[in-house]
Chain A
Amino acid sequence: MIDPKASAHGNLASSRIDLQLIANRVETGTKVLDIGCGDGALLDLLVSDRNVDARGLELSQKGVNACVARGLSVVQGNADTDLSYYPDNGFDTVILSQTLQATQKPLDVLSEMARIGERLIVSIPNFGHWRVRLDLLLNGRMPVTGALAASWYETANIHLCTLRDFTDLADQLGLRVESCITLSGGRAREIAGKPSARHNLLAQQGVFVLRR
């Protein structure tokens, strides 16, 4: 059986510099839920560096078992179906790193996140990056890049979007974009508010801090 969330992480394993950036944006001593926490790398960072009361939700059994074995509080579950069991305002910050594009209903997942916590941190691969655009333009085939390494028929990333698509969706849900960090070639740049058309062209990934 193909495990979609596990391979979503696998695809992006080499480019998880977003984790440290996300951790830096979490206040110490707060309560955090990490959805799609994989093997628990971010949770571990939050617990050890920022003294956070961190909980995780992960689809793959392997990921969950690895997390609990390293002492993290993680539950096996699905972002699409299990968020409804979390209480309103149960957390200060809700994190979704490189997982939104692998969910069945990104809109529902985001609105559930906003119900569970006031502050959201969401990182996504940017399908608007120039290489992706150029790849499609020149080859006429679904782009396969370093960050999105699987072919269209086997990728777990079923709901890809650009940075602009994402901010449009945030607007639709009444979520304010506080800041955005764009990542390109291992370099991070922080932008106050929404990314511009230029950022949308140059960034390989975006890390958004949203508030409801």
Chain B
Amino acid sequence: MAAHITYLSETTLQQKFGRNLQDREAVSYGFDADFQIESYLRHQGMTFVERFDANSYLYITRAMDYFDLAADHGGNLAAAFEGTKTRFCVMSFTSDWLFPTSESVQTVRALNAAGANVSFVEIESDKGHDAFLLDEPEMHATLDGFLKSAAQARGLFSAKGGQG
């Protein structure tokens, strides 16, 4: 339930649920789901528990906690990208509080310091982290341009047309 909040944004939660009550006229002062948001998060929590083994979440979160790319390169993130031939495109969403823009910027700066070919866009959206799963025209346009130019650079896509 806690994790699920990080996939959404404050605006989305506020718009969707606010302080709306769940199937009742007044709060009950008990530990039942008085608010719609409580009911929604409980439902999402139950769905997750049914779909996944809770242990897998423990392992994934531990793996994320232990992952430190900079530490593997003497604390210098740029060193991790030294000599790379890969083209990078970093995207962030303004309302994403799971992977905020400030952290994407750090990655981009490290890539620049390593002389990597990098593009970086921040896309305006109130949908939070989940925006990348939704219909965000600007994200699709960016991705389309990036993939086409990467393909072109590799000689996989000769004509410059089809971008209109």
A interface residues (Cβ-Cβ under 8 A, vs B): 48, 53, 55, 61, 64-65, 67-77, 82, 85-87, 90
Contacts and interface: CB of A to CB of B under 8 A. Distances in A.
B61 interface: no
A68 B146 CA distance: 6
Contacts of B114: 87
Contact of B142 (A65, A77, A90): A65
A76 B149 contact: no
Contacts of B109: 82, 85
Interface in B104-133: 105, 108-109, 112-115, 117-124
Contacts of A86: 112-113
A87 B142 contact: no
Contacts, number: 67
Given A65-B142, A69-B144, A75 B149 contact: no
Range for the number of chain B residues in contact with chain A:
20 to 34
B105 to A, nearest CB: 8
B121 A61 contact: yes
Contact of A70 (B123, B138, B145): B145
A68 B117 contact: no
B89 interface: yes
B119 A68 contact: yes
Given A72-B149, A73-B87, A87-B113, 14 more contacts: A64-B120, A64-B122, A68-B89, A71-B145, A71-B148, A71-B152, A73-B117, A73-B149, A75-B118, A75-B120, A77-B105, A85-B109, A86-B112, A87-B115
A39 to B, nearest CB: 12
Given A61-B122, A76-B120, A69 B142 contact: yes
Nearest to B152: A71
23 contacts: A55-B117, A61-B122, A65-B121, A65-B138, A65-B141, A68-B121, A68-B145, A69-B141, A69-B142, A69-B145, A69-B163, A70-B145, A70-B163, A72-B145, A72-B149, A74-B120, A75-B112, A76-B122, A77-B105, A86-B112, A86-B113, A87-B113, A87-B114
